[in-house]
């Protein structure tokens, strides 16, 4: 093949590259955490000179680097994965992610070309979107049944609003809200049930009631016992980033490098779960749209979701009717469905495979269309050798 693909995860990786390679063309400032790199063999048809000429002609954001201690040999090409395809049609950074999600006593779920829909059921009186609220037992069950009829793969049951500025409720009150709903759902349905909580006591009660997954907005940080509880039940886990508790998180939106901070936070949370005894294959990651983020931060995350593939776990995204859609469109929560559809599709194209939503019917249609797009590739007769020839001819 003549090349090796790798990823600059943090500043340490960047410094190693700068130490080993010198810049032939492009700008060293392009070397930042979150950059994909291709290490190219001297046996490749590509040469640094050809790449530099091509990059100059098309004004591409490449940096070409040569090994310092060798006049010939491997050289380095850096840029985003979409740029890489200008040279290597068979590059697929999705190979860097591990796409299978395994839940206890269920068949493994391959999410490479599958998109799952998680329907939200808020057993709360104050969640930001009125239609997601099921403040009574009967209303919550009715909403969950509607989601199931419309094709939800997962029902996410929460008993405390975590919208920006929301006040916490006690674990006792949260258990009172969510456990009866989860018990009833478990009797009615054999699909995946998650509990949206950051409290270990609530998670334990929900898992006893039949939940499969703990969806923790804090990434197992707000409650020191959470990782051990999840691991002891061998449960699924959604690990999310936030900059703080809901009442203060939107006051903490200044980052030196937002993507790197979010990545590092989730990486540490995964390590915490694995150290507690949970298998990595039980884990899903969520960069936390709207949780301690400025409106533009959310767009950057959606545009660069491939960055989080290096965590080697499938990605869940929750954009549904959130305030950043209103910030850019002026729409109220009740009017944000078009913006939700647009950003959900973008998220899947950039690597998300689970959509957490209020509007299940519309999300299921998005999922089916996006699955078809993910599966639509080159004709079977178009071999990898052909792709290499096309790439070399292009240069």
Each residue's pLDDT expressed in tens, for the chain with a length of 395 residues: 456 666 776 778 788 888 887 877 666 776 777 677 777 766 666 666 666 565 554 445 567 777 776 555 566 666 555 555 555 555 555 666 789 999 999 999 999 999 999 999 999 886 555 565 557 899 999 999 999 999 999 999 999 988 887 788 999 999 999 999 999 999 999 999 999 999 999 999 999 999 999 999 999 999 999 999 999 999 999 999 999 998 899 999 999 889 889 999 999 999 999 999 999 999 999 999 999 999 999 999 998 888 888 788 999 999 999 999 999 999 999 999 999 999 999 999 989 999 999 999 999 999 999 999 988 854 444 343 433 333 333 33
For the chain, residues classed under CATH 3.30.70 are 3-88
Nearest to 183 by CA among 206, 216, 156: 206
User: What are the CA-CA distances from residue 308 to residues 33, 91, 288, 323 (Å)?
Assistant: 11, 17, 12, 23
* Structure confidence at residue 133 (pLDDT): 53
Burial (CB count <10 Å: 0-12, 13-18, 19+), residue 145: middle
In sequence order, the β-bridge partners of residue 22 are 66
Nearest to 227 by CA among 190, 274, 286, 171: 274
* Structure confidence at residue 389 (pLDDT): 37
The CATH topology of domain 96-375 is TIM Barrel (3.20.20)
Nearest to 237 by CA among 278, 275, 204, 202: 278
Nearest to 307 by CA among 8, 60, 18, 90: 8
Cβ-contact 282, 102 below 8 angstroms: yes
CATH of domain 3-88: 3.30.70
Radius of gyration of the chain (CA): 23
Distance between CA atoms of residues 205 and 373, nearest Å: 40
Would you state the structure tokens that stand for residue 39, as one six-digit string? 């290490």
Distance between CA atoms of residues 18 and 28, nearest Å: 8
For the chain, residues classed under CATH 3.20.20.20 are 96-375
Active site residues: 322, 356
Angle at 242 between CA 16 and CA 320, to 5 degrees: 115
Question: Which residue in this structure is represented by tokens 């009833």?
Answer: 184
Cβ-contact 324, 289 below 8 angstroms: yes
Nearest to 283 by CA among 294, 273, 268, 292: 273
Cβ-contact 154, 101 below 8 angstroms: no
Burial (CB count <10 Å: 0-12, 13-18, 19+), residue 112: middle
Nearest to 362 by CA among 134, 146, 122, 130: 146
């Amino acid at each position: 093949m003549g090349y090796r693909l790798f990823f600059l995860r943090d500043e340490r990786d960047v410094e190693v590259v700068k130490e080993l390679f010198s810049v032939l063309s492009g700008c060293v400032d392009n070397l930042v955490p979150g950059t994909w790199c291709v290490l190219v063999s001297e046996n490749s048809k590509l040469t640094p000179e050809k790449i530099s000429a091509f990059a100059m002609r098309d004004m591409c954001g490449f940096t070409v680097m040569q090994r310092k201690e060798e006049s010939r040999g491997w050289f380095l090409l850096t840029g985003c994965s979409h740029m890489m395809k200008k040279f290597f049609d068979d590059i697929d950074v999705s190979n860097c992610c591990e796409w299978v999600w395994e839940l206890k006593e269920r068949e493994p779920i391959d999410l490479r070309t599958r998109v799952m829909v998680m329907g939200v059921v808020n057993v709360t009186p104050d969640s930001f979107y009125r239609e997601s609220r099921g403040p009574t037992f009967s209303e919550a069950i009715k909403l969950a049944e509607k989601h199931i009829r419309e094709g939800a793969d997962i029902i996410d049951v929460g008993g405390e609003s975590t919208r920006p500025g929301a006040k916490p409720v006690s674990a006792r009150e949260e258990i009172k809200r969510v456990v009866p709903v989860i018990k009833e759902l478990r009797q009615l349905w054999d699909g995946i049930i998650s509990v949206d909580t950051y409290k270990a006591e609530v998670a334990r009660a929900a898992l006893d009631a039949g939940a499969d997954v703990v969806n923790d907005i804090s990434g197992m940080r707000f409650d020191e016992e959470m990782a051990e509880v999840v691991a002891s039940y061998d449960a699924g886990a959604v690990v999310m980033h936030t900059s703080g508790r809901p009442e203060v998180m939107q006051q903490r939106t200044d980052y030196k490098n937002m993507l790197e901070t979010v990545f590092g936070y989730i990486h540490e949370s995964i390590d915490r779960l694995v150290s507690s005894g949970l298998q990595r294959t039980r884990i899903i990651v969520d960069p936390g749209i709207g949780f301690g983020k400025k409106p533009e931060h959310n767009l950057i995350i959606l545009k660069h979701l491939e960055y989080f593939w290096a965590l080697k776990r499938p990605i869940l995204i929750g954009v549904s009717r959130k305030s950043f859609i209103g910030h850019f469109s002026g729409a109220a929560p009740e009017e944000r469905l078009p913006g939700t559809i647009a950003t959900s599709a973008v998220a899947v194209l950039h690597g998300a495979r689970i959509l957490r939503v209020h509007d299940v019917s519309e999300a299921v249609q998005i999922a089916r269309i996006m699955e078809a797009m993910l599966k639509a590739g080159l004709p079977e007769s178009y071999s990898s050798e052909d792709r290499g020839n096309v790439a070399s001819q292009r240069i």
